[in-house]
């Protein structure tokens, strides 16, 4: 496993549409392992393959540090409710902004054996599912921010 370089806003790869995964080759298995390692090392709750420069529809998420979720070719099939709160992205370091998302999301995806799985999430997990899946279509949360993008330290004083 290896830590991969996280691409940052302004890198054109982040605005491209990723391709569906048809086969989990050893190379893709390595990519998945590296994505988890890279996400944990960066203290993120999610990472999409284009963020490490690979245009494939693969997402990893872990909102608690104990619930790793792998999604291949994910798509949102149901949403409900609404939540408004701060969001950030490993590709937009040091920044945060307010984004409104559904409070509940259901996703259909494939696991690493390419079996179909369903993942449901509320609150932070719902937010992460929406955010990461948007990366696969070349979108960053900054497009949806209400008001200004803020520096993280302006609101996260208590964590320092
Ligand atoms: Ni992101």
pLDDT (average), residues 34-49: 97
> How many whole angstroms from 48 Cα to the centroid of ligand 1?
7
The pLDDT assigned to 156 comes to 55
- The structural domains of the chain, with segments of one domain joined by +, span 12-159
Task: Identify each DSSP E strand in 24-94 by its residue range.
Answer: 46-48, 58-61, 69-80, 83-87
How far is C-alpha 128 from the chain's CA centre?
6
Average pLDDT of the residues in 28-39: 98
- What spacing in Å lies between the alpha carbon of 142 and ligand 1's midpoint? 9
Decide: helix, strand or coil at residue 82: coil
C-alpha 100/C-alpha 37 separation (Å) is: 29
CATH number for the domain formed by residue range(s) 12-159: 3.90.45.10
Distance 75 CA to ligand 1 centre (A): 16
| C-alpha span between 45 and 159 (Å, rounded) | 16
Q: For the chain, what is the mean pLDDT?
A: 95
DSSP state of 62: -
Q: Is the pTM of this model over 0.85?
A: yes
pLDDT, tens digit (0-9, with 9 covering 90-100), for 124-156: 999 999 999 999 999 999 999 999 999 987 665
For residue 78, pLDDT beyond 70:
yes
Q: Which residues surround ligand 1, an ion (CB under 5 A)?
A: 89
Active centre residues (catalytic)? 132
């Amino acid at each position: 496993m290896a830590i991969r370089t996280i691409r940052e806003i302004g890198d054109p790869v982040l605005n491209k549409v990723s391709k569906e995964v048809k086969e989990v080759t050893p190379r893709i298995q390595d990519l998945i392992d590296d994505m988890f390692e890279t996400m944990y090392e960066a203290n993120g709750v999610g990472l999409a393959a284009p963020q490490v420069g690979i245009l494939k529809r693969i997402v990893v998420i872990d909102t608690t540090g104990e619930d790793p979720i792998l999604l291949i070719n994910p798509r949102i099939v149901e949403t409900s409710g609404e939540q408004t709160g701060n969001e950030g992205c490993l590709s937009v370091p040091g920044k945060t902004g307010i984004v409104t998302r559904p409070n509940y999301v259901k996703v259909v995806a494939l696991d690493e054996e390419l079996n179909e799985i369903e993942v449901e999430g509320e609150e932070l997990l719902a937010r992460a599912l929406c955010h990461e899946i948007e990366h696969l279509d070349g979108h960053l949360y900054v497009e949806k921010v209400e008001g200004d993008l803020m520096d993280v330290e302006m609101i996260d004083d208590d964590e320092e």
